[in-house]
């Protein structure tokens, strides 16, 4: 997660199976302005275990704040990294 506005941004993440059922606990990361935060093996970190297919959600806490978030996966057979882009969903 990278924060572009001044101040600090706390962004909770939830982790879900494909059916939308949350797995593990919610994790909140905080980034200062112009800084980035990285969490290695986030699914293990939140107790979600090994999921064959899963996704995470990122929520911006403060109105008007902007963040950039992404995920990456390492292919265990080749060691090649793959970046997983962020999918934006409309807010209410």
> What is the domain count for the chain?
1
Domain membership flag for residue 89: no
CA atoms of 92 and 70, how far apart (whole Å)? 22
What is residue 20's DSSP assignment? S
What's the predicted TM-score (pTM) here?
Answer: 0.64
Domain membership flag for residue 91: no
Cβ neighbours, 10 Å, residue 75:
9
Domain that holds residue 22: 2-84
Q: Tens digit of pLDDT for each residue in 32-70?
A: 878 888 888 888 888 888 878 888 888 877 777 777 788
- Residue 85: what are its φ and ψ, rounded to 5°? -75, 160
Lowest mean pLDDT among 8-12, 40-44, 73-77: 8-12
Domain membership flag for residue 28: yes
Structure-token pair, residue 37: 């935060």
Domain membership flag for residue 90: no
Structure-token pair, residue 80: 């090649």
Domain membership flag for residue 92: no
């Amino acid at each position: 997660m990278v924060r572009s506005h001044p101040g600090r941004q706390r962004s909770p993440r939830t982790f879900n199976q494909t059916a939308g059922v949350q797995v593990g606990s919610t994790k909140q990361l905080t980034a200062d302005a112009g800084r980035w935060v990285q969490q290695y093996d986030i699914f293990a970190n939140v107790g979600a275990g090994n999921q064959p297919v899963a996704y995470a959600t990122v929520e911006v806490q403060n109105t008007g704040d902007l963040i950039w978030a992404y995920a990456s996966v390492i292919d265990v057979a080749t060691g090649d990294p793959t970046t997983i882009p962020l999918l934006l969903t409309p807010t209410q």
